[in-house]
Structure 1
Amino acid sequence: MSNSIVIISGSPNATSRLNGIVDFIRRELDQKGYPSKQITVVTLPAEDLVHSRFGSPAIVEANRLVEEASAVIIASPVYKASYTGVLKSYLDLLPQKGLEGKLVLPLFIGGTLAHLLSIDYSLKPVLASMGARHFIRGVYATDNQVERIQDGSSETKFEINEELAERLQASAQELIDELSLRSRVSQ
């Protein structure tokens, strides 16, 4: 297993503030020599997700990325105290032990701090049932920490506030440190 990282983004919205967080963490990892690949669940064929088509080429390819990764970042907005249904639809298509031996970094964003524990109470039990045992300190952000920037271009840009940026940088560094440690141990 390499030091590859895959990000599973569970936002159903193309302009979600979650994209600002995912972009930020990708840049952090890339700048430190840890490029990542991304699975944007909403771009997978809806029919495959809804009808649990395990053999669909798009699902097989997405699952291959997860299988080959040493680390999986799972990102989602929080709706009704939990991660999105589209993310759950994809997680259901991963093999039962598809996260075994992988480092897992959860990234959530919600409207208020009221859902701060959604990572621990809604996501981690599902991931643990799939073999996840080593969680990197997750990051929960609120919408007001990620600002949409309208600059006239067709692409939505985001600005992350300083406190959130520091927490994301710390989690990215923890992930890198763990990947580096695992590489040294396996040599």
Structure 2
Amino acid sequence: MSHVVIIAGAPSKRSRLTGLTDYSTRTLSKAGISVEVIQVADLPAEDLVKARFDSPAVQDALSIVEAADAVIVATPVYKASYSGVLKLFLDLLPQEGLRGKVALPLVIGGSIAHLLAMDYALKPVLAALGGRHILGGVYAVDQAIERSEAGAFTLAADITSRLDRALEELILTLDKHGITIH
């Protein structure tokens, strides 16, 4: 069975980014793919900031990434780049920590003006980590994801459509590379 890890780089689970990651988890699970989510903000902050590779929580998270066939890297955009929380975690990955893995970036920002942050900030880092199968990704604006009082998220139709296409591409890429789906 294929195994995907979602690295969620939002500083809070209340972030609208969670709408994208929850939708991705449900969609991939329905396709028979095992999914795990690493909420980077839930890792011990001091371990991340001080790059404590021997931290049990950090080691567990790195092991999850190592065991995955594909990685979805999800982040909000702050100051025209991916989040600092995500940066701290990516800095802990081995030099070729994404080698042989399919990578799908998911990015959310306050406006369409930050669209290129995915191509000019995040994708180069994924490539530097050995990623060679980096898919196009999905960029969403905050306004396209509604959060209810109960904390549930509703995605605009254009976002679900683009996300469905990106996840289908992820599944097809895994299949193309001989990684079992069911």
TM-score bracket relative to the smaller structure: over 0.9
**Cα 1:128–1:18, aligned 2, differ >3 Å: closer, same or farther?**
same
**Cα deviation 1:145-179 (Å, max 9, x = unaligned):** 100112xx4xx101001000000000010001111
**Once the two structures are aligned, what percentage of the paired residues are identical?**
51
SS of structure 1 residue aligned to 2:105:
strand
Tell me what 1:168 maps to: 163
So what's the TM-score if we normalise by structure 1? 0.93
After superposition, residues 40-119 of structure 1 pair within 5 angstroms as 40-119=39-118
Checking the alignment, whether the CA contact within 8 Å between 2:2 and 2:179 is kept in structure 1 is no
Checking the alignment, whether the CA contact within 8 Å between 1:111 and 1:143 is kept in structure 2 is yes
After the TM superposition, which segments of 4 or more aligned residues of structure 1 sit over 2 Å from their partners? none
Tell me what 1:183 maps to: 178
- In 2, the alpha carbon distance for the partners of 1:182 and 1:48 equals 35
Checking the alignment, whether the CA contact within 8 Å between 1:109 and 1:143 is kept in structure 2 is yes
Tell me what 2:9 maps to: 10
Tell me what 2:31 maps to: 32
Range that drifts further, 176-185 or 74-83: 176-185
Quote the RMSD (CA, aligned, Å): 1.2
SS of structure 2 residue aligned to 1:16:
coil
- In 2, the alpha carbon distance for the partners of 1:182 and 1:36 equals 18
Q: CA deviation at 1:35?
A: 2.4
Q: CA deviation at 1:135?
A: 1.0
- In 2, the alpha carbon distance for the partners of 1:35 and 1:144 equals 30
**Cα 1:147–1:59, aligned 2, differ >3 Å: closer, same or farther?**
same
Kindly provide the amino acid, as one letter, of the partner of residue 78 in structure 2.
Answer: Y
**Cα 1:58–1:162, aligned 2, differ >3 Å: closer, same or farther?**
same
- In 2, the alpha carbon distance for the partners of 1:35 and 1:64 equals 15
Q: CA deviation at 1:46?
A: 0.6
- In 2, the alpha carbon distance for the partners of 1:132 and 1:89 equals 18
- In 2, the alpha carbon distance for the partners of 1:47 and 1:126 equals 23
**Cα 1:184–1:115, aligned 2, differ >3 Å: closer, same or farther?**
closer
Checking the alignment, whether the CA contact within 8 Å between 1:3 and 1:183 is kept in structure 2 is no
Matched residues, number: 180
- In 2, the alpha carbon distance for the partners of 1:16 and 1:22 equals 10
